[in-house]
Structure 1
């Protein structure tokens, strides 16, 4: 009887500890949330990466200036040393006493005039040296501050990368708990869908002209390519990487991240949207796409999906910018 009771207790404990299988809808909701959080981190990561690259360029420039400034100081010190040595050889007696003792006062006055010129030259060299030293000290301080900022940007970049990887891993772990069929439903992107989108890349023949048409044509050519976070092409893109590459094809350089792209060009009312306009989503503007007309856009959605055409109504629309 005790064995039976023990077995029943074990069975009850096992039943109590068993977790119910997650439903595809519940998993999709959690995966969507994790992917949205990951995309927010991705745009921050892109911003830190751009900042680090800029700071590295500034640090290199300032350090080159420090090297040149030190070389100039070394040359000035050499010249000042020569002047000081000459003074040591000819100095030591008060000029008025030397004039009285000199057997050739005229010759001495000529030498004194030359000596005054040397003193004037020394004063000019000293002033130049002081100015150069101040500049060198400023450059060194600026270099130290820039390198400290560069180090902080690198730390932030690594932290954002870790956060992105953690969110994507958590999303994948949720998906792995589903059956293959349910996983395909959640992703809404099975193998056949990926293959068709990868090969079906219609050319743009809409109403846009000029640079806007060039940007939209480029975006159409990227349909089916995978979302790759941090990527700006040509094999894959994240959202701002795609819009930046599209307008780069039209000889327009955009900032790297979506929040900065929002600050370019002119704001456009939703009712006035035209192909080529940048369309932005979510209150923090962490997602951007390229409007193509008829209420649709081309965008790079998220990890696990490909560049696609989607109505702009599927996400919280914030506004648009025309370049």
Structure 2
């Protein structure tokens, strides 16, 4: 019988090995392409970045106004809670005093032995003196009864105050949770916007943040810290602010509106910082609140409340000092200064500036002075 021999596997020749390796690599590359991990992220155009950044800023500003509202309500709730606690402490002091008086009366009765009045009269060496004393004791007993009634009422009041304080404390905690949620939303949106802007060259970034191309040396710096050198798209205080401010004061409906407009002009170039109300940095509604505070008028903190703070006016009736609001959610506000222009705090990439009111969707206007 012929011996059966094992067939040895033949090694691949050099050419065959190279071919197999090439096919394996090609297959891996093809698989990578089809599973979507092989594509490099396409570079966005400047216009696409601008659209995304503008959307993120709008969303961040809407969240900022909600943050401002939550902050205002949390502060009011905390103030009410502190007031309730102070009032409870005052009532507790008065209650302790009343309890001390009742304790003294009870101790006196114990010392006297609470002998029946008939026996005290029979045993008294001076009946007239006893009768006088008995009448006094009766009046003292009436006072004691009234004091007991007052103590009971004070106990009820203190318990009501403590119950109200518990409710208010719960409200404070709820407001603080909402405050953190809106703060997280704002910071996340602004972070995304910064990451998009960081991909651009300085001229491209200037084009996105100012709306026009600008030389790198004159581009507005992004971020919230410090003041930025104005670009041609941002009127300077010397060339435009003062001249228009004078015109605004001359045509404003009254001195308070003129004062508010003048304040806004003095703040040109101040940085945008969300949640800020001045005097050195502002968000959009914070600038408006500060401007009218300088004129002696107290305005609400948020755009949602500011639009209802005065008398509504149409776009054709605008006068310097009027508040102009934008977007369907009423999430942005500026102060009108005449000639179709306003002063506003745009976003973290741009300082307080003069801008045309038709650069954003107009939502309404209010006259507060």
TM-score by length of 2: 0.81
Partner Cα distance (1:280, 1:36) in 2: 13
Correspondence for 2:9 = none
- Give the counterpart of 2:160 among 138, 160, 184: 138
Distance change >3 Å, CA 9–CA 18, structure 1 → 2: farther
Where in structure 2 are there 5+ consecutive unaligned residues? 1-18, 221-228
Q: Does 1:69 align with 2:105?
A: no
The CA deviation at 1:284 is 2.3
The CA deviation at 1:100 is 5.1
1:169-318 equivalences under 5 Å are 169-188=191-210, 192-194=218-220, 195-196=229-230, 200-201=236-237, 202-203=241-242, 204-206=245-247, 207-208=251-252, 209-318=254-363
- What's the RMSD between the two structures over aligned residues? 2.2
Alignment length (residue pairs): 323
1:46-195 equivalences under 5 Å are 46-99=68-121, 104-188=126-210, 192-194=218-220, 195=229
Where in structure 1 are there 5+ consecutive unaligned residues? none
Partner Cα distance (1:110, 1:16) in 2: 109
Correspondence for 2:11 = none
SS in 1 for 2:246: coil
SS in 1 for 2:230: helix
Distance change >3 Å, CA 102–CA 196, structure 1 → 2: closer
Contact persistence 2:50–2:208 (CA under 8 A): yes
The CA deviation at 1:154 is 1.5
The CA deviation at 1:96 is 4.0
Contact persistence 1:22–1:178 (CA under 8 A): no
The CA deviation at 1:83 is 0.8
- 89-98 or 143-152, which moves further after superposition? 89-98
Structure with higher RCO (Cα < 8 A, 6+ apart): 1
Q: Does 1:320 align with 2:369?
A: no
The CA deviation at 1:231 is 1.0
TM-score by length of 1: 0.92
Partner Cα distance (2:27, 2:138) in 1: 108
